[in-house]
Structure 1
Amino acid sequence: MSGARKPAARLGAQLCAHALHYLLFAYRGRQLLRRRPSLGGPRRPAFGVPGDDVALTIDDGPHPRWTAPMLDLLDRHGVRATFFLVGDRVREHPELAREVLAAGHLIGNHSMTHPQPFAALARHEITAEIDRTQREIEDATGHTPRLFRAPGGNWSPGVLRTTAELGLVPVDWTVNPSDWRSPGVARIARTLSRTRPGQIMLCHDGGGDRSQTVAALAEVLPRLTDRGLRFVTVPDDR
């Protein structure tokens, strides 16, 4: 937070951001129950993908321990995913960002430092978080991301407005196994196995020990492909 912001204003912004977090949590629950999740728009996050495909998204990397095993796993199963990368981690491990792109996956912007609650930041701070990440990814890979996911999925009208002004598509998710909490392989796999056509899955390769995520996906990916589901990257041309 900028030191120029008054404590009362800062607290108000944080309370508002937390309230939005719980409202969005409820909204995601409704999206999960819909036959077709919302595809979003310039100022509305996408909760799903078109048609009968599904999208696997991987957040918070690149990570020196877990990105490579994740890429190996996806390659074995012929799955293309969308990786939402954190700018600071791209700066630390640019070679891993290049490996993600070279493996045929799509890269999206997930902010520079992953601050939370993201919607509590001032507009200029939100802009800086997104813009700096764009430059880090471009410098590391030569690729300019077209997708943005707010840290923690903490959207607000201001975050969405800034995302649109920067020419990026906001992306949320439908299926969330909370793998970042390390709840156990069985629980992660059980949640992901319920994925239906049109839904976006949320997983992580950064932010901590992701051995449970890798193990769960090793079970789930063949299970979903055996059901006839096809994995695609999140559309970035809206």
Structure 2
Amino acid sequence: MNGPTPPGADRTHSRPNPRHADCARRWVPSPFIAGAAALHAGAAAALIAQPATWPWAVGSVAASHLALTAAGLWPRSALLGPNWTRLPAASAASVTSVPGADRRLALTIDDGPDPEITPRVLDLLDEYGAHATFFCIGERARQHPKWIEAIVARGHAVENHSQRHRHTFSVSGPGALRREIEAAQRTLTDISGTRPRFFRAPAGLRNPFLEPVLCALGLQLASWTRRGFDTRERDPQIVTRRLLTGLAPRDILLLHDANSARDALGQPVVLAVLPQVLRAAAEAHYHWITLRAALDAAPVTPVGHGGNAAPFGKIRP
């Protein structure tokens, strides 16, 4: 584990990499999307050639829409496009030159900043010398800009979690998605001084229009490997077990600094869970890394959803 980063020293951005320039990416439809498009075209062609086949045509199109919807409701799915559910493997040079490159974890913290909880989360991260990725909501950032500045000053990364975190995000069209994400890009860039490079959908839910928008804005979708459901589970021990049982190198963990559930004493669950997670990771000699640092350490073409790593084993709080 690394020691605490001095105030104002942003180690997250200390390794610029021209391979991952912040620019638009070319959108390439996933095989799942391409297959759905081909099915639609085939159904239309069949309907024109043989109108009597309309029940088959309508049924097949309806089935494809159901499949596309199901893929969007599965946060860890890569069916609709590249999606980080684990950290990509580090390049050979990184493994050789960076101690602990093969023992990396990513802690992601969503929905903030929160003026009550975010400062306490930052203090806990400092205590353990850990770095995290904060997926922040644009409107909250405008309300509490000093905590965005504090996140960056303490060596963490600020990424895009939409401007308003609306529950209707996953049923929005491409224009609405772009406006929502672009507004958050402007907001978070203005306050943090650094352009977000990752996006996480509200509740992880999305639709086929999202990936082309992210490509146009130069953003990479990221979800998680494991989550504790700390926005609704009030028992910190249950949340902690969900995060630590079977923890493996390159896992991405999800917690929340806003919208955290409260325990029996009325305290935010995240504040009881986070020290246990950080302590267990330190004892297992894991190294916390931000997503953007992992992107810079990846091979030239980052893997969309990580890959497989042998589990370290069962770690208990």
Q: Tell me whether the two structures share a fold, i.e. TM-score over 0.5.
A: yes
Out of 105, 113, 117, the position equivalent to 1:62 is: 113
For the pair 1:214 / 2:274, whether they are aligned, the reply is no
For each residue in 1:183-209, what CA deviation from the matched residue of structure 2 results, as whole angstroms up to 9, or x when unmatched? 311101111122211110010001245
Unaligned runs of at least 5 residues, structure 2: 1-65, 90-101, 263-267, 297-301, 303-317
For the pair 1:196 / 2:234, whether they are aligned, the reply is no
Does the 8 Å CA contact 1:58/1:203 hold for their aligned counterparts? Answer: yes
Map 1:70-109 onto structure 2 (within 5 A): 70-109=121-160
Structure 1 residues 115-124 or 224-233, which shifts more? 115-124
For the pair 1:131 / 2:182, whether they are aligned, the reply is yes
Equivalent-residue separation in structure 2 for 1:213 and 1:17 (angstroms)? 33
For the pair 1:164 / 2:221, whether they are aligned, the reply is no
Task: Tell me the TM-score normalized by structure 2.
Answer: 0.62
Does the 8 Å CA contact 1:119/1:158 hold for their aligned counterparts? Answer: no
Task: Tell me the TM-score normalized by structure 1.
Answer: 0.82
Does the 8 Å CA contact 2:68/2:208 hold for their aligned counterparts? Answer: no
Task: Say which one has the larger Rg.
Answer: 2
Out of 74, 86, 100, the position equivalent to 1:48 is: 86
Residue 119 of structure 1 deviates from its aligned partner by: 2.0
| Letter of the structure 1 residue corresponding to residue 122 of structure 2 | L
For each residue in 1:188-231, what CA deviation from the matched residue of structure 2 results, as whole angstroms up to 9, or x when unmatched? 11111222111100100012456211111111211111111111
- Residue 257 of structure 2 is matched in structure 1 by 205
Q: Secondary structure at the match of 1:55?
A: strand
Cα RMSD (Å) of the superposition? 2.2
Unaligned runs of at least 5 residues, structure 1: 1-14, 29-39
Q: What is the identity percentage for the equivalent residue pairs of Structure 1 and Structure 2?
A: 33
Equivalent-residue separation in structure 2 for 1:209 and 1:185 (angstroms)? 9
Equivalent-residue separation in structure 1 for 2:111 and 2:149 (angstroms)? 15
Give aligned pairs, total.
Answer: 211
Out of 275, 289, 297, the position equivalent to 1:232 is: 289
| Letter of the structure 1 residue corresponding to residue 152 of structure 2 | L
Residue 21 of structure 1 deviates from its aligned partner by: 4.7
For each residue in 1:31-79, what CA deviation from the matched residue of structure 2 results, as whole angstroms up to 9, or x when unmatched? xxxxxxxxx7x94111111343110000000001100000000000011
- Residue 13 of structure 2 is matched in structure 1 by none
Q: Secondary structure at the match of 2:231?
A: helix
Indicate how the Cα distance of structure 1 residues 202 and 208 shifts in structure 2: closer, same or farther if over 3 A, else same: closer
